[in-house]
Homo-oligomer: A and B are copies of this chain.
């Protein structure tokens, strides 16, 4: 076996509370500096730097130097997937849902999950697209129908070539079980395209220092007009 030790190594890297907090902060897909991450984890910059060096050496995060800053981001979608499935297990484990503070409420309403939407917004979008026949949802995957492809194109939402070319149907959007809603939302290429477009068009705004999203009035209109949901 190749992976008996490697598995434990990866897991123990994530298993340290400070490192876990930093990784979680990177779950929105953006790149943060070591200083920001040290504040997130509530440790001194030196300690954070050491942790980040370990994470980078193990390939969990990638680092790009820019001037006197060093930007850290998750190494790729697979790492985000790993963390997300971990949260799912962690949530399924607990008996009673603890207090839901206001900050928590914002997260449950709408947030990013690496490169796509999650929370009630993400789940609502998936459900709306399904009831209107734009996608078909199976147990573990979803598929964009040609009707859905047409409608999105018509709404001005750019889709990558792989999706756009309608060779029959395109099973390109994987599902991601939402840890707060316990229902699937749209991930994969389609999810990333939707999220990118919504951010570019200012339908949603990132909250500073959080993965939570604020839905703008323009976004509320767009989501209602295009997807027929009340966000």
Contact = CB atoms under 8 A, between A and B. Distances in A.
Contacts of A20: 4-5, 7-8, 11
A85 B81 contact: yes
A37 interface: no
Interface stretch (A135-143, A151-159, A198-206, A220-228): A135-143
Contact of A162 (B13, B93, B94, B139): B139
A17 to B, nearest CB: 4
Interface stretch (A44-52, A118-126, A165-173): A165-173
B140 A94 contact: no
Interface in A108-144: 136-143
* Copies of this chain in the oligomer: 2
Given A11-B12, A12-B15, 20 more contacts: A1-B104, A2-B91, A2-B94, A3-B91, A4-B17, A7-B86, A7-B87, A9-B90, A10-B93, A11-B11, A12-B16, A58-B93, A82-B85, A136-B171, A138-B143, A138-B172, A140-B174, A141-B172, A142-B171, A143-B171
A4 B87 CA distance: 9
